Structure 1
Amino acid sequence: MSAFSAIGEETEQDQNEFTPGLEPQPTWCPGCGDFGVLKALKGAAAELGLSPDEMMVTTGIGCSGKLNSYFNSYGFHTIHGRSLPIARAAKLANPGLTVVAAGGDGDGYGIGGNHFMHTARENHDITYIVFNNEIFGLTKGQTSPTSPMGHKSKTQPHGSAKTPLRPLSMSLNAGASYVARTAAVNPNQAKDIIVEAIQHDGFSHVDFLTQCPTWNKDARQYVPYIDINDSDDYEFDKTNRSEASEMMFETENALHEGTVLTGRYYVDEDRPSYQQEKQRIGEMPEEPLAERYFDDSYEWERTFDNFLDKHK
């Protein structure tokens, strides 16, 4: 009998199924954009017909780190910047599980930037949502990797002398096969993008603009926004890497000039995921590795035995 018999069943779900009983009401600040991420993720999971047993949400440290406390599914609250390696391990052990990783702009683009780059390069089949509010919120208002040049904070009282990191461009250059940006003020687009990101077979990166009214009062609320996929002013082929790159560069410049552009930027449906490549070369079995823990007849392999045999 499968230990994961809930996975793959077609069921109708209500998004309230993803509201936990122990901590149903989030304690984010009033007006925080993180509420928008939670709502969009619940709506996406319900639309996809997933059950809480079919999902795992890994988070890092920061305001975004509470996501898996407020979302009813399997969860793992990691240390700073480490949500991605935990998510990767979970997906490799049980490919049938829908794995979503989350982090803030400091957690994901700063402390966890190295993991972000290599997870994208390897094209792991997980969805990564980055709460981008251009500030360190939980630690009360320090400049983050996405804070604009000149932004004044506790760590940069005279204004930041650094140009902000370009998360969309970095994601594309690292190798992500699905790249999008949405905003908490655009809940319908946010839900649709998360649905697409989860359905995509490969690494999906969603840069989610989330306003912080408490610690980043100088930042705009990301309105009005323009959906580049619906606007006649922004025509490009999101399956073309060069055109996507140009659109990302324009979007990242426009944000700090007062124009908020969102939408799907790059989609590569042909590139195999990391899991598929591992199976192709024979280094990953077809059956979930995690099921072996429930198989009393399975004869466990020890990795070091393979190395010892080579030296005999």
Structure 2
Amino acid sequence: MSAFNAIGDDREIDRDEYTPSVEPQPTWCPGCGDFSVLKALKQALPEVGRNPEEVLCVTGIGCSGKLNSYLDSYGFHTIHGRSLPVARAAKLANPGLEVIAAGGDGDGYGIGGNHFIHSARENHDMTYIVFNNEVFGLTKGQTSPTSPKGHKSKTQPSGSAKDPLRPLSMSLTAGSSYVARTAAVNPNQAKEILVEAMEHDGFAHVDFLTQCPTWNKDARQYVPYVDVQESDDYDFDITDRREAAEMMYETESALYEGEVLTGRYYVDEDRPSYQEEKHALGELPDEPVAERYFDDDAEWERSYDLLERHT
């Protein structure tokens, strides 16, 4: 067991351990898809053998930002769009943690879009869940990056003139080594995908369709849905970037035509994670940096000790 926390504590974990004793009942609107994300996460974490002290959940601002308030684990509530840089730093300092970052479509694909692109490019070893309800929910229904063209809102009263962002395609292009989409109405698939994402060594991006019954009634309930792995109508190799890209484009186009396709789209098990790359360069210590806080004899390295003086 680590001196930092209970990392490495081998025991059976009950999902109820992830329900906090203070404010255990989420305050999301009735019918919100966010409930399904929380439920799937509570089911997935024990399955990968993680107890609450081995988990860090980092969130941004918005309805999705409440996730770590309702998940009894380590948590960090960042500012809008900034969950990923905090999560990356935590994983580098304490690699034994199961790091989960979460944000909404506005938080993750808009305000935090640059962090998303570069976290994927660098292939940081973490799971990134984006609650995609095609609208800004907490701030009362403004158009988001994934709102369909023509969507009317307080910020676009005549209808959005912009085509929606394609998050799966962007994720693949940026460099994510695991890309999947699931939906709140498919809880079994959601749990299985989150298990795979957490077990994946690299940047795992899960686009999670979460209906918003209050501010985006146009999205309905994201039903009926089709699992592309179980359907005979779709056959592609999730390890082939070209085939994955074509399937992603079809999936993203179909969503705005009323057909919800979900499943695993791309998996690269051979690409080294950012942590592995840094270890290979000798730029990450064998002992986690976080452990030094508990070692009075640890020698702290400073940047001026590592870099040659510029002359």
**TM interval, short-chain normalised:** over 0.9
2:165 is equivalent to residue 158 of structure 1: no
User: What is the one-letter code of the residue matched to 1:193?
Assistant: I
Within-5 A mapping of 1:16-27: 16-27=16-27
1:281 offset after TM fit, Å?
0.6
Q: Which amino acid aligns with 1:227?
A: D
- Partners of 1:263 and 1:177 lie apart in 2 by 15
Which 4+ runs in 1 deviate beyond 6 A? none
Aligned equivalent of 1:208: 208
- Structure 2 residue aligned with 1:282: 282
> What aligned pairs does 1:1-312 form with structure 2 within 5 A after superposition?
2-4=2-4, 6-307=6-307, 310-311=309-310
- Write the distance in 1 (CA, Å) between the matches of 2:83 and 2:273: 19
The answer to whether the 8 Å contact 2:213/2:220 transfers is: no
RMSD: 1.1
- Once the two structures are overlaid, the 10-residue window that deviates more, 202-211 or 217-226, is 217-226
Deviations 1:132-178, CA, capped at 9 Å, x for gaps: 00000000000000000000000000000000000000000000000
Deviation at 1:311, TM superposition (A): 4.6
Report deviation, 1:12: 1.1
Once the 2 structures are TM-superposed, how far is the Cα of residue 5 of structure 1 from its aligned partner? 5.4
Q: 2: distance between equivalents of 1:249 and 1:236? A: 13
Higher mean C-alpha deviation, range 128-137 or range 12-21 = 12-21
Letter of the 2:131 counterpart? F
With over 3 angstroms needed to count, the CA separation of the structure-2 counterparts of 1:7 and 1:64, relative to structure 1, is: same
Percent of counterpart pairs with the same letter? Answer: 77
* 1:10 Cα deviation after fit: 2.4
Distance in structure 2 (CA, Å) of the matches to 1:38 and 1:278: 33
Offset of residue 9 of structure 1: 2.7
Looking at structure 2, the residues matched to 88 and 193 of structure 1 have their Cα atoms a distance apart, in angstroms, of: 21
Q: How high is the TM-score relative to the length of structure 2?
A: 0.98
Taking the aligned partners of 1:33 and 1:155, their CA distance within structure 2 comes to 23
What are the superposed Cα offsets for residues 194-233 of structure 1, whole Å, 9 maximum, x if unpaired? 0000000000000000000000012221001000011110
Aligned length: 311
Contact 1:11 1:50 in 2 (8 A): no
